[in-house]
Amino acid sequence: MSSLNLDLDSFAINPQYRFQWEAAQQCHVLLFPEGLVKLSDSAAEILRLCQEPTTLATLLSALEKMFPGVEGLEDDVREFLSDAREQEWITPA
Amino acid sequence: MPENKSGSPQLRDEDNHNFIPMWLLAELTYACPVQCPYCSNPLQISANRKQELTTEQWIDVLSQARELGAVQLGFSGGEPLVRPDLAVLIQEATSLGFYTNLITSAIGLDAAKIAAFKAAGLNHIQISFQGSNQESNKKFGGTDSFRHKMEMTSEVIRQEIPLGLNFVLHRQNIHQVGEFLETAEVLGAEFVELANTQYYGWAKHNQQGLLPSRKQVEHAERVTNDFRSRHKGNMDVFFVAPDYYDDRPKKCSNGWATTFITVTPEGDVLPCHAAKVIPGLDFPNVKQHKLSDIWRSSDLFNKYRGTSWMVEPCASCPERMIDLGGCRCQALMLTGDAANADPVCSLSPFHDRVTKITDRASGEFDSNEPVPLLFRNMKNAEQFNQDQS
Contact list, A33 vs chain B (CB under 8 Å): 101, 123-124, 126, 162, 164, 191
Determine what percent of chain A is predicted with pLDDT higher than 90.
Answer: 76
- Which residues on neighbouring strands pair with residue B126, listed in sequence order? B103, B164
Q: DSSP class of residue B367? A: T
Higher pLDDT, residue A20 or B200: A20
Contact list, B68 vs chain A (CB under 8 Å): 24
**A38 interfaces chain B, CB cutoff of 8 Å:** no
Listed residue (A37, A42, A44, A49) closest to A11, CA to CA: A49
**Chosen from B23, B67, B99 to mutate, greatest number of chain A CBs within 10 A:** B99
Could you tell me the end-to-end alpha-carbon distance of chain B, in angstroms, rounded to an integer?
31
Q: 3-class SS at B163?
A: strand
Q: 3-class SS at B142?
A: coil
Do residues A27 and A39 make contact, with C-beta atoms less than 8 angstroms apart? Answer: yes
- Mean pLDDT for B240-258 is 91
pLDDT digits (tens, 9 = 90+) for B25-66: 999 999 998 888 988 888 888 778 889 999 999 999 999 999
Of the listed ranges B7-21, B92-106, B156-170, B289-303, the least confidently predicted one is B7-21
Q: What is the pTM (predicted TM-score) of this model? A: 0.91
Do residues A18 and B99 make contact, with C-beta atoms less than 8 angstroms apart? Answer: yes
> Would the pLDDT of B12 be above 70?
no
Which pLDDT does position B7 carry in this prediction?
A: 34
Which pLDDT does position B10 carry in this prediction?
A: 36
Which pLDDT does position B388 carry in this prediction?
A: 64
Which pLDDT does position B235 carry in this prediction?
A: 87
Determine what percent of chain B is predicted with pLDDT higher than 90.
Answer: 68
Q: What is the ipTM of this complex?
A: 0.88
Q: How far is CA B179 from CA A4, B174, B253, in A?
A: 32, 10, 31
Region of residue A69 (left: phi > 0; alpha: psi -120 to 50; beta: else): left
- Residue A26 and residue B344: Cα distance in Å, rounded? 37
Contact list, B24 vs chain A (CB under 8 Å): none
Do residues A33 and A16 make contact, with C-beta atoms less than 8 angstroms apart? Answer: yes
Listed residue (B134, B128, B224) closest to B175, CA to CA: B224
> Would the pLDDT of A83 be above 60?
yes
- Residue B146 and residue B127: Cα distance in Å, rounded? 11
**A61 interfaces chain B, CB cutoff of 8 Å:** no
Do residues B8 and B292 make contact, with C-beta atoms less than 8 angstroms apart? Answer: no
Count contacts between A and B (CB, < 8 Å). 41
pLDDT digits (tens, 9 = 90+) for B66-104: 999 999 999 999 999 999 999 999 999 999 999 999 999
Which pLDDT does position B40 carry in this prediction?
A: 86
Do residues A7 and A28 make contact, with C-beta atoms less than 8 angstroms apart? Answer: no
| Average per-residue pLDDT for chain B | 90
